[in-house]
Every structure is written in structure tokens, then in C-alpha cells.
Chains A and B, each alone.
Chain A
């Protein structure tokens, strides 16, 4: 009788199965001992504790995930853990996003031992935290790559591997290729569209906004028969930006038909323009309607149709806020950021909020350069008083996908926002919008605020500075939060 069989004998119960006093373990236990069962149990149980656990016959052999990024420094580890795993700390707000973006820019990755603790942060931002973090965040998910071969850096993508990446990375790859080889990128998209689902097709088509030209017309026109309405809309938006296309002409015609031309002034008659809204659009509904109408044509196309110089056209519209907003949208579509700035500085300083409501993607602002140029134009110092709440700062950071240009950030730091009460949860997302060069100025502002208001922002600032310091060594020591 082995210890295991003795123990198994107790499972049914001594009322049903008599205790068998056999074998070396039972030696010395008399059958008449009233505690015979107890003693046998104790001895057998004790004997089992000496036995080695049974080793598996075979162990798993997963392919490792290669990750060339440097691991963050020990101090950065501590700061990152406090930022995204502290009590009540959000894992996906602007501050967390700023940390992830900085790590992506600096080619840094979380320490592997921190991945379990950074849980939600890694799942949210794994795509920019390196292959190892991405693999960790996708563990157990349907569609996750199996083994290390499916995970690699975004800049390791090539013509043979880009189709294996996530949708966001595929679009990012095409956007990068369009900057240097528009025709080649278009060919890749054209070959891939038939095998992708609708949301991915939309992303790939929107990526063609970079370097958009007449050569893209054929492909875009072929998509007008796509089975998904979203895909057709995306193709139409780009076609409308190409001069000479039927779609562009139709859209310009619709806009011009709604603009009433007049004259004002007694001595010097100047042209005035006014936008006629549909009867069923109330004033507060106007901006989204205007965005839908003007987000697919360029400023120059409208000016040409009206027979006006773009600057004169803007001046003529100065009494009509909705029309000015529309011209701001059109200026952006055409990348006339000088005109956009003129509208925002002189007439509609809060125009930026309507861009965010629509989404910058809707205006073809897909790449980082375009978004920064837009921010520099649409966010003059006068724009900041119209910041309505922390959610707008969060949305701005999310859509910019990074901090503000230096000039716009300087206007934010110098604005009167800081002296108004109740900043509360604004402070951290505003801090995320500040580029690293202006963090000292931001700290000076934060020093005027109570600790419970500025704490998270200061923590983010400390982390960004630590990440950016090339002198710090990567982490090899454990840290406790």
C-alpha cells in the first residue's frame, strides 16, 4: 500500500470502506487501536509530503519575441508605474498617452517584469511600446499572433510583411510610403483592398491623402462601387480634392449655390458673402452641417468658382461666422494653413473645437507634419480661453497624437487659463500637450497650483524628462512602486 493508495482509500469514508492496515506505513498500528485510522492518515499524508511533484512529460517551446528597443531606466520604471498603476490612476488618459508616445519616439520599451503590472496601459498602447509589449498585451486575444514571428517594430515593416501588421500600422506604413513613393504605395493599397474588411479599407484609402494627386483618380473612382458605404465616402472625400473630377465639381457647385453675394458700404462698395443654411438646420446645428459640406473641397476651388482671391473671399465673409468656419475647413483641406491662421486669428478663434468635433482625419490630416501645421495655424493664443473642459484637452491630445508645436504650447502656458479657478482635471491633459522643451515653463505654472491638482502633471513631467535623458542607463534592477 503506497501513501497514495492509502489516501485514496479515505475518499469514500471509513463507514463504507474499512481501513486496511497493510504495508510499511501501517507497521506498528494495531488493528485494535481506536485511533488507527487517524494515525494511518497522518503517516500517509506525511509520506506524501516527501514525494517529488510529477514533472510534465513535455514543456512548451514558444518562439521568443525579438525586441530591439532599450528598456527604460530604473527611475523611469518607478515613475511610469506610479503614473499608470497608482491608486485611481487612469491607464488611457492624455498623460498615459503622452508617456507611451515619448517611449515610442525614443525607442524605449517597458521593462519585461513590469508588463503584468502595467496591464491596462500595455493593452491600450501596446502598438507603440514595442513588439514585446504588444505581444504581452494581446496574450489570449482572438487573432493574436502565435509565437514571436508575428511581432515586430513598425519600421521593420516592408513590402512583404506590412500586410501582417495591425490595421493602424498598415495605414501608418502606407502613409510613410506615400511621402516618398506615392505610386508604389497606391499599388500596394490596390492589391490589398480586396482582402481587407471595410474598416481597414477605409484606413488605407485615407492614407492616400498624403501625396494625393491626379494619378490616384483611377483607383478612387473604381471604389465608388464598393459594397461598404464608408469606403465609398472615403473615396469621394479624396476625389473631391482632385481638381477636374466630377465629384469635386459637384461639391463646389453645391457650396457656391448656397453662398449669397451682396454689396455693403456707402462710399466704397465691398463684396459680402453669406451662407444660406437649409431651412431645417438650426443655428446650433450649423457647424456639423458646414463641416460635412466644406470638408471635401479646397479653398482655392471655392474662390475660383466665386471669382475672388482667397484673402478677399475671407474678408467678404467676415460677417458670417458659419461661412468663415466653412472656409477654415476648406483651407485645411487644401493645406492653406496661412489662410487658416488668418481666419482663426482675426475672426473665429474657437474654430479648432469644430475641427475636433468632426475629427482631424475627416480633413485629410493623417500625418504628423500635417497635424502639427494645423495646430500651429488653428491654435493661436486667442484660442485657449475657449477651452471648455478637460475632455477637450484630452480630445486635442488624442487627435494630434502628440504634444503641440512649441509656439502653440507657449500660448497655452501663457494663457489666462491658469488663473481661473477649478482647473482640477484639466491640468494633466494640458501637461500632456506641452512639448519637452517647454516643461520648465510648465513647471513654473504648476507650482502655483495646489498639490492635489498638479500632482499627476508633475509626475508626467518628471517621467518625460527622465525618458528623454540620454545619460540614464537602462534598467537592470528591480524597483518597487
Chain B
């Protein structure tokens, strides 16, 4: 049975879903639209996040799958894909279903039928595409209203700056208090102390700092007990550095200023970044090296997609796409898998060391053929790159380390990424791997010399991707 308008109307959970789907019918919002010629269609729809949503539909029974966090089934993306297919005005490229479609088909439990109507439910109007034509259009912008809104935004901004200034003063007093009491036992009191300070910083509208403070206890307990005092000192010192830099932001260059504001909690909207003509844009084929998920204290699931520019020559170029999804939606996982290559233009958020980006335009995505390896330079070169980035951006977070000619070695129950020096020439450099990754990384001990990608957090390397004689290894 082919898709039809009637079928789409029957599947739509309500009229607003159809209205939302209609807004997605622009071909420009779909970097991928494809079919396999046997009743299976799929596409990628650019939403408000950094990564596009992936949608697949089986035409014969209208089964669907989408990676968006919507709680409506089917979501607007699935409806829009069916709608595009039914209208036939936009071409679908013939192709072989990618792995994420095959994985979904392999897990499918059978045909999906339109939900049966509840006989006890009050009658409601059936969703109708024809009814969308009667919806009123939004009014054109009123200059006076715009001016009033702008003025209000400025008042809000000034008020927030004042609150932040108070919050930073409270932060410094808190740090001084911790120093007075001594950092030796800070890990024992960190849970309560940090929770109290985090609430204060949230009230001060410094959400970025609040998250950082609230994650500090977990960071301490992930460290060896003997190292916790040192880790605490570094993290508290970093907090003061951020506060000081923020107070002096007018003396910083634009990129560093943007950095420190983002660290405190100011955000740059996606539309604003895409509209910024001065934003760094890099076009090319980007390979996905890692996806990382973490639930933040503010109950948002932070999803990071780490990319490297393929064939970048001697210079490595990395990027990270960051999406936030409310934990309450129950949605997890990432649209992309390690090894995928995205042909896209990335726009980078302003920073002294541009790393965070979003997809400005995407042309294609496919599985990488062949292995990925960073340019020659080894672990020492990667370490030098880290030091240079740290010098440029003192509050550097997780930093991508990529190197060839690495071996994984064990010592004292820990794993290390070691520069392979068969002739004994070169400098000793051994980066300890994160203990929580040791189990999954242990098979690399027997993999010989590898090309490794990982995230260095200042204390440990979190291995995420490796090209080895045994094939590709990923942590996820």
C-alpha cells in the first residue's frame, strides 16, 4: 500500500502535528532524501539542534522511526517525510539503506497501524491537511513593537550582568573560604558545599559556572584519592580565573571575550550564529570520531559529536557538535555513529580556539571507506597542540588528542597511550587512560601500533576511536 494524504491524516496525532510538518516541507531543510526502490524511504531533516534528525519510513505499512525527542508519534519529521513522498514534488535519490536504517529494520516488531480510536474518548476533529489552508498567517513586524522588545532585552541584559557580578563575588568568597579551611579534605565536603554554591550561581544567572561547580564532586571522585587535592586546587583556580576574566572582559580580544561569556552562561542562538557573516566556516568532509553523552545537573542530556576534517593535510582540524535534550523525554543516543563521514559546512561559535560548531549546510552522509589516521606527528605533536590551545584558551575543556604510532601499554593496573619508539628515539610521553574506559580499551593492548583519538581532560585521556591492524575500535 503506497502512502497517501489520507493515510498521513489518519496517522497524525493532531492538527498541530500536521501544521508543524507542513513547515518542514522545504527541500532545503532535508540534506538527505532517499529510497531503496522497494518501499523504504529515509531522510535527514535539519532541526534546531546541531545535528540533523534521521527519519525512516516503510511505505507498505507506514512504519516510521525518527531520532528527534518529540513525544508525539508519529512526529512532525516522519509526517513531513511521508508528505514529501506522497506529493512527489521533491526527488528521492535511489540508494542503499545506510546502517542506521538497517539497524531500525532489524529491530522492528511488525507493522504499525493507525491507532484505534478510543470509544470512550470525546469526539475530536480529525487532523486535516486541507484545514491548514485556513490558518491565519502571522502579522508583519511592527517597528514600535520591535523597539519596545529590544529595549526590554537590553534591560534584561543589564539586570543579568548585575546578578552575575554579584554571583562572581560570591564565588570568590566561597573559594577563599575553601582555601582557608584547606583543600586536603575538600572532597569530603564538596557535595554539600558545591550544591550550595551552584544554587547561588543559578540564581545569579551564571548557569555555565553553576554546572561546572555542580560537576566538581563527581570529577573529584573519578580521580585517584591521592590526586584529589591537586584536582580540587586546579578546578577552584580555574573558577577564579573565569571570574577574573569575566570582570575584565572589556580588555580581552573579541574571541576570548566570547569564550568567557559562554563559559559563564551566555548562549549564542543558532540563528544568530548562522546569520553572523564573520563566523568561521569550514567546508569539507568531516568524519565522526566519537559521540559522548552526559546528563548534566540541570537535567539536560548533553550529546557531543566529535568530528575531524578528513584529508586536512598536515593540519588537524576538529569540531564538536553539542546538542541538549531534556532527560524527561527519554530520548538518548546520537544521530551519527563513529566512522560516518558528513559532507557539510560547519559554522564555529566564536572562540579563541574554535571547536564548538554546528552544521550550517549538509550535503551527504555515508560510512567512511578505509581507515582514518591523523597526519604524521605522533603523540608528542598532539601534546604540543594541546599546550598551544591551552595557552590560547586557559579554561580549555576536553581537548581532542589524535596521534599515529601509538601503543596501549599497561603498568600498575592502569592503561597508558604511549608513543611507539621502536628505535628508542624520541621523547617519553605516556598519557594515562581514564579508568572507567579501561575495560573496553583493554583489547587494544594486543592491537599493536595504532592511530588513536581521545579526549584529554587535563588528567586522563578518554580513548574514543582507533584505527588498528584489527580494524576500527570505538568506545561507544
Asked whether any CB of chain B lies closer than 8 Å to the CB of A471, the reply is no
Asked whether any CB of chain A lies closer than 8 Å to the CB of B300, the reply is no
From known contacts A49-B458, A59-B410, A59-B416, infer whether A15 and B241 are also in contact, taking CB-CB under 8 Å.
no
Q: Mark B434-476, 1 if CB is under 8 A from A, else 0.
A: 0000011011011100000000001100000000001111101
Asked whether any CB of chain A lies closer than 8 Å to the CB of B244, the reply is yes
- In the bound complex, do residue A39 and residue B240 qualify as a contact, i.e. CB atoms below 8 Å apart? yes
- Kindly report which residue of chain B lies nearest to residue A60, judged by CB atoms: B410
- In the bound complex, do residue B394 and residue A46 qualify as a contact, i.e. CB atoms below 8 Å apart? yes
From known contacts A48-B234, A478-B472, infer whether A11 and B338 are also in contact, taking CB-CB under 8 Å.
no
Partner of B233, one of A45, A55, A112, A115: A45
Q: Mark A233-277, 1 if CB is under 8 A from B, else 0.
A: 000000000000000000000000000000000000000000000
Q: When chains A and B are docked, how far (Å) is the Cα of A208 from the Cα of B458?
A: 62
- Chain B residues numbered 87-131 whose CB sits less than 8 Å from any CB in chain A: 99, 106, 108-110
Asked whether any CB of chain B lies closer than 8 Å to the CB of A292, the reply is no
Please classify the interface of chain A as helix (H, G, I), strand (E, B), loop, or mixed, using the class held by over half of its residues. loop
From known contacts A14-B179, A60-B409, A478-B471, infer whether A43 and B237 are also in contact, taking CB-CB under 8 Å.
yes
When distances are taken between beta carbons in the complex, the residues of chain A under 8 Å from B409 are: 59-60
Interface size class of B (residues with CB under 8 A): 35 or more
Asked whether any CB of chain B lies closer than 8 Å to the CB of A451, the reply is yes
Asked whether any CB of chain B lies closer than 8 Å to the CB of A410, the reply is no
- In the bound complex, do residue B241 and residue A46 qualify as a contact, i.e. CB atoms below 8 Å apart? yes
When distances are taken between beta carbons in the complex, the residues of chain A under 8 Å from B429 are: 52, 55
Asked whether any CB of chain A lies closer than 8 Å to the CB of B176, the reply is yes
When distances are taken between beta carbons in the complex, the residues of chain A under 8 Å from B339 are: 477-478
Q: When chains A and B are docked, how far (Å) is the Cα of A50 from the Cα of B447?
A: 30
Q: When chains A and B are docked, how far (Å) is the Cα of A42 from the Cα of B110?
A: 59
- In the bound complex, do residue A116 and residue B439 qualify as a contact, i.e. CB atoms below 8 Å apart? yes
For the complex formed, measure the closest distance between the CB of A283 and the CB atoms of chain B, giving whole angstroms.
46
Residues of chain A at interface, number, CB under 8 A: 50
When distances are taken between beta carbons in the complex, the residues of chain A under 8 Å from B338 are: 478, 480
Q: When chains A and B are docked, how far (Å) is the Cα of A206 from the Cα of B203?
A: 75
Asked whether any CB of chain A lies closer than 8 Å to the CB of B138, the reply is no
- In the bound complex, do residue A115 and residue B430 qualify as a contact, i.e. CB atoms below 8 Å apart? no
- Chain A residues numbered 37-65 whose CB sits less than 8 Å from any CB in chain B: 37-39, 41-46, 48-50, 52-53, 55-56, 58-60, 62, 64-65
Q: When chains A and B are docked, how far (Å) is the Cα of A38 from the Cα of B244?
A: 10
From known contacts A15-B180, A56-B416, A116-B443, infer whether A7 and B233 are also in contact, taking CB-CB under 8 Å.
yes
Asked whether any CB of chain B lies closer than 8 Å to the CB of A407, the reply is no
Asked whether any CB of chain A lies closer than 8 Å to the CB of B37, the reply is no
Asked whether any CB of chain B lies closer than 8 Å to the CB of A341, the reply is no
Asked whether any CB of chain A lies closer than 8 Å to the CB of B230, the reply is yes
- In the bound complex, do residue B443 and residue A113 qualify as a contact, i.e. CB atoms below 8 Å apart? yes
When distances are taken between beta carbons in the complex, the residues of chain A under 8 Å from B233 are: 7, 10, 41, 44-45
Partner of A49, one of B183, B240, B390: B390
Q: When chains A and B are docked, how far (Å) is the Cα of A35 from the Cα of B241?
A: 12
Q: When chains A and B are docked, how far (Å) is the Cα of A60 from the Cα of B418?
A: 13
Partner of B474, one of A16, A41, A43, A478: A478
Interface residues of A (CB under 8 A from B): 4, 7-8, 10-16, 35, 37-39, 41-46, 48-50, 52-53, 55-56, 58-60, 62, 64-65, 71, 82, 111-113, 115-117, 450-452, 455, 475-478, 480
